[in-house]
């Protein structure tokens, strides 16, 4: 493969995880970091040994020596930045959720498709090694026909203040977390088995002063083949990130548990360093998670997108997938308001 030169657009939480994932990927170099803040751009570039940083997005997009742009910016920036990248016919990857709502995602998908260049949807869940292995087991007939999938994604709340503002993000806990669970369910059932109808509940149970959005939600997915997906989402779960999947088939079951089934348990009477994403405490009984970027799927997805950019191939997760997830989330919020099943409009 030729060396893929990357521009990291963003300098926050998810950009850091992307850099961790890229650290073990051959054939690439992050040549440029863009941030809306000059201070953050410089600090991020220094922390990750990136040779250049900038706050000038048009100049970054106009460069002819960048092969892949990774959008690791807040949700409200996804649409305008992606449209500019498509206008310049640049290869692009965008973090989840693709957009704040269905209409924005449709504009991003249509523009990227017209540009005729690579567009990748950076959904970590379906690149996590345990989830990939579960899918292989399904494809090999290990559990028979998939009938029911249950996924849980929860923690004690967002790490950045802007995440609590539903006008900027597009929604609360369901918007933030269900995108993972929805795409996992689509992956386990097979994308040819479309999600056709949804039912959702959501409420603000704890964080009344922080957000106008829901901090807990349930989302039920009805598939065209008759199967059911069950998504549990929470911003009020203490003890660190909780990522679990159950896949029940006609002949067997599969279970994945990235964060509660770690290979290490520890008891420390004082702080002993980083434990796991969204950990509330770093002492006492803890379950540290080694190689988070690998376990969560950041390394797998970054390797895949770099390889696709080098080879001119279409990623297995594209803006079409991100658009469909946004369609499902929009239907979920409609259901949350109406308290009825809602058909998904693609």
pLDDT digits 0-9 by tens, 110-123: 999 999 999 999 99
CA–CA dist 287, 339 (Å, integer): 38
Q: Please tell me the predicted confidence (pLDDT) of residue 271.
A: 87
Q: Please tell me the predicted confidence (pLDDT) of residue 283.
A: 84
Is residue 1 pLDDT above 60, yes or no? no
Q: Please tell me the predicted confidence (pLDDT) of residue 159.
A: 82
CA–CA dist 187, 219 (Å, integer): 17
Mean pLDDT over residues 29-55, rounded? 96
Q: What burial class does residue 265 get, using C-beta atoms within 10 Å of its C-beta: 0-12 exposed, 13-18 middle, 19+ buried?
A: exposed
Of the pLDDT bands very low, low, confident and very high (cuts 50, 70, 90), residue 129 is very high
Residue 78 backbone dihedrals phi, psi, to 5 degrees: -60, -50
Q: Please tell me the predicted confidence (pLDDT) of residue 2.
A: 64
Name the maximum alpha-carbon separation found in the chain.
58
| pLDDT > 70: percent of the chain | 99
Is residue 208 pLDDT above 80, yes or no? yes
Contact status, residue 97 vs residue 325, Cβ threshold 8 Å: yes
For the chain, the average pLDDT equals: 95
Q: Please tell me the predicted confidence (pLDDT) of residue 3.
A: 92
Residue 251 backbone dihedrals phi, psi, to 5 degrees: -130, 0
* 17-21, 50-54, 182-186, 292-296: least confidently modelled range: 292-296
Q: Please tell me the predicted confidence (pLDDT) of residue 112.
A: 98
**DSSP secondary structure letter of residue 39:** H
Q: pTM for the complete prediction? A: 0.94
Residue 25 backbone dihedrals phi, psi, to 5 degrees: -110, 125
Contact status, residue 97 vs residue 326, Cβ threshold 8 Å: yes
Mean pLDDT over residues 315-332, rounded? 98
Closest by Cα among 331, 295, 326, 315 to 125: 295
CA–CA dist 276, 292 (Å, integer): 8
Of the pLDDT bands very low, low, confident and very high (cuts 50, 70, 90), residue 275 is confident
Neighbours of 283 (CB within 10 A): 13
Structural domains in the chain plus CATH codes: 4-124+298-317 (3.40.50.720), 126-297+327-343 (3.30.360.10)
CA–CA dist 214, 235 (Å, integer): 9
Q: Give residues with Cβ within 8 angstroms of 208, minimum separation 6.
A: none
Mean pLDDT over residues 187-203, rounded? 98
For the chain, the first-to-last Cα distance in angstroms comes to 36
Q: Please tell me the predicted confidence (pLDDT) of residue 280.
A: 80
């Amino acid at each position: 493969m030729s060396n893929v030169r990357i521009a990291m657009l963003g300098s926050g939480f998810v950009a850091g995880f992307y850099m961790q994932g890229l650290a073990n990927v051959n054939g690439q170099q992050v040549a440029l970091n863009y941030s809306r803040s000059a201070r953050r751009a410089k600090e991020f570039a220094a922390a990750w040994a990136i040779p250049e940083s900038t706050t000038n997005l048009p100049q970054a997009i106009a460069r002819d020596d960048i092969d892949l742009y990774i959008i690791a910016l807040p949700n409200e920036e996804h649409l305008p930045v992606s449209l500019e990248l498509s206008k310049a016919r640049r290869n692009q990857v965008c973090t989840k959720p693709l957009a704040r709502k269905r209409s924005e995602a449709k504009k991003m998908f249509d523009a990227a498709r017209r540009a005729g260049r690579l567009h990748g949807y950076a959904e970590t869940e379906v690149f996590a090694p345990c989830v990939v292995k579960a899918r292989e087991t399904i494809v090999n007939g290990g559990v028979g026909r998939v009938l029911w999938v249950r996924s849980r994604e929860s923690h004690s709340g967002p790490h950045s203040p802007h995440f609590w503002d539903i006008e900027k993000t597009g929604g609360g806990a369901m918007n933030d977390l269900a995108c993972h669970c929805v795409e996992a369910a689509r992956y386990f059932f097979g994308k040819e088995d479309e999600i056709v109808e949804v039912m959702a509940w959501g409420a603000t149970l704890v964080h009344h002063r922080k957000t106008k959005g829901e901090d807990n939600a349930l989302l039920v997915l009805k598939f065209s083949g008759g199967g059911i997906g069950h998504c549990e989402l929470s911003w009020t779960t203490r003890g660190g990130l909780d990522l679990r999947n159950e896949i029940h088939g006609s002949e067997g079951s599969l279970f994945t548990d990235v964060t509660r089934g770690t290979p290490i348990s520890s008891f420390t009477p004082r702080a002993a360093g980083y434990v796991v994403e969204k950990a509330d405490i770093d002492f006492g009984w803890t379950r540290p998670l080694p190689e988070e970027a690998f376990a969560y799927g950041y390394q797998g997805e970054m390797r895949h997108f770099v390889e696709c950019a080098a080879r001119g191939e279409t990623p297995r997760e594209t803006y079409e997938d991100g658009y469909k997830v946004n369609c499902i989330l929009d239907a979920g919020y409609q259901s949350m308001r109406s308290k009825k099943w809602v058909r998904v409009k693609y």
